[in-house]
Amino acid sequence: MHNFHYYILILGIGITIVACQKDDPISSCSDGIQNGTELGVDCGGDCAACAESGCTNQDAHNYNSNASTDDGSCETCSDGIQNGDEEEVDCGGDLCNPCQSEIQKFQGLWRQLTHTEGGVDQRALFDVDDVFYHFIEGSTKYEQLNVQKNEEIKNFFVGSYDVDVSIDQVSRTINSTTYSFRYTLLGNNQLRLEGSIGGHADIQTFEKIDTDLCLGIICGLEECLFGYCL
C-alpha cells in the first residue's frame, strides 16, 4: 500500500511538470508550431516579436521603415508601373522626375505681369515696360529680356535652369549665381514664381505667350526678339 501511494505521488509530480512545461512560453516559442498567444510560428504574443515584412527600399513610394524583410512589394520610379503618387508611368509626384508633359507645359515663352520684391513693386521702381522669360524646350537654357519704358534700354541675356525632383522646384543661374525658385503652373495659362533674393521675398506672375510676337515686325539689320528689335 505504501508503494502504491508512492507511485501515485511520483505520477502526480510528473504530470505537473509536463503541464508546467506546456504552459511555459519559453518552451513553446521554439516548438515550430504557432500556438498559445503567438501571432506567427514561435513569435509574437508572449514570444519575441515577429519580423515584419514589407518594402525595405527607402526610395520606394511605399517604403516601410518597420520592415526587416523585403516582401517584393516595393513601388518605385523604375518599375514600369504607374503607382504611388506618380502622374504617369514612373514620373511625376514627390519622388520621381517630372513627366515630359508637365515640363512641356512649363517651357515656352512667358510675359511678366507682376513683380514684387520685399513687397516693393519692381516694375514701377525700375520703370519696366516688359519682361520675358523663354524656357527653351529640350534644353536647360532660358532667355530673358528686360525692356524699360519707351524701349530706351533693353537687357537680354541667356542663363541656365535645372528642374529638380518636381517641376515646381527650379534652380536658375544668373551671372554665375544660383537662385532657387518655386514655379507653380496656375490656371488660365499663368505661372507664379516664388523665391528669395537678398533675404527678400521675390514673387512674380507670368502669362503664357503662344503667338509669334515678331510677326510683321521689320528690324532691318537688328534681330527681332519677343516683339522687340534688339
pLDDT per position as a tens digit, 180-192: 777 788 878 898 8
Q: Which domain holds residue 125?
A: 102-210+219-229
Residue 8 in domain:
no
Model pTM greater than 0.85? no
Residue 168 in domain:
yes
Residue 56 in domain:
no
Residue 224 in domain:
yes
Residue 145 in domain:
yes
Task: Look at the block and give the residue holding cell 520685399.
Answer: 118
Q: How many CA atoms lie within 13 A of 156 on its CB side?
A: 11
Residue 14 in domain:
no
Alpha-carbon distance 227 to 215, whole Å? 8
Q: List pLDDT tens digits, range 44-68.
A: 888 988 878 889 899 999 999 888 8
Is the predicted pLDDT of residue 9 greater than 70, yes or no?
no
**CATH number reported for the structural domain that contains residue 157 in this entry:** 2.40.128.20
Q: Which amino acid is at 46?
A: D
Q: Which three cell numbers stand for residue 165?
A: 525632383
Residue 2 in domain:
no
Average pLDDT in the 201-228 region?
92
pLDDT recorded at residue 91: 80
Q: List pLDDT tens digits, range 104-136.
A: 777 889 999 999 999 999 999 988 999 999 988
Q: Which residues contact 10 (CB under 8 A, 6 or more apart)?
A: none
Residue 121 in domain:
yes
Number of domains in the chain: 1
Three-class HEC string of the chain:
CHHHHHHHHHHHHHHHHHHHHHHCHHHHCCCCCCCCCCCECCECCCCCCCCCEECCCCCCCCCCCCCCEECCCCCCCCCCCCCCCCCECCECCCCCCCCHHHHHHHCEEEEEEEEEECCEEHHHHCCEEEEEEEECCCCCEEEEEEEEHHHCCEEEEEEEEEECCCCCEEEEEECCEEEEEEEEEECCCEEEEEEEECCEEEEEEEEEECCCCCCCCCCCCCCEECCEEC
What average pLDDT does the chain have? 80
